[in-house]
Amino acid sequence: MTRCFSSNTEGSVAAEFAIVVPVLLILIFGLFQIDILYFANAGLQNAIGEGARMATLFPRKTDAEIVEHIKSKAFGLNPSYLETPTVTHGVDYGLDFIDIHVSYRVKINMYPLNGVSITLENNRRVYLP
């Protein structure tokens, strides 16, 4: 009787498929979540770079103008998850500078980590002319 069951391979492909598919789907959706993080990081870097460029223009801009420019140049980001950028003034070796700090929360929408958020932060120091 055991020989009858050991030689029967019908359904083995379906069993292997049932084991492999959940792992494959988790990997695919995990890659999508990582892509979302990279896209958000690119948008954040673009925004802080544009804010730094604006801070170096000749008629010096106010902090509020720099913050608004950063918010307007953040592509692909949900404005409700973008925390208000901070602009800090200082002097280093006799040169005026501005430190710009921006942070953004990215929500993870995958089953084991559903509702977890990752905070992306970016800082930029700009020496003023």
DSSP string, 37-86: HHHHHHHHHHHHHHHHHHHTSSSPPPHHHHHHHHHHT-TT--TTTBPPPE
**Residue 42: its pLDDT value, please?**
96
Residue among 23, 24, 30 at smallest CA distance from 113: 30
Residue numbers of the domain that contains 32: 10-127
Please count the residues of the chain.
129
Residue 79 forms part of a structural domain: yes
pLDDT attached to residue 3: 60
Confidence category of residue 115, pLDDT binned at 50, 70, 90: confident
- Please, what is the angle between helix 63-72 and helix 12-55, to 10°? 150
Number of domain units in the chain? 1
User: If phi over 0 gives left and psi between -120 and 50 gives alpha, with beta otherwise, what is residue 76?
Assistant: left
In a domain, 4, yes or no: no
pLDDT by residue (tens digit) across 80-99?
999 999 999 999 999 999 99
Q: What are 14-72's pLDDT values in tens digits? A: 889 999 999 999 899 889 999 999 999 999 999 999 999 999 999 999 999 999 999 99
In a domain, 82, yes or no: yes
> Is residue 2 a part of any domain in this protein?
no
- Residue 111 lies inside a defined structural domain of this protein: yes
Half-sphere exposure of 29 (CA within 13 A, CB side): 13
Top pLDDT among 50 and 3 is at 50
pTM for this model (two decimals):
0.82
Per-residue pLDDT band for 4 (boundaries 50, 70, 90) equals: low
Any domain includes 91: yes
Q: Please indicate, yes or no, if residue 31 is contained in any of the structural domains.
A: yes
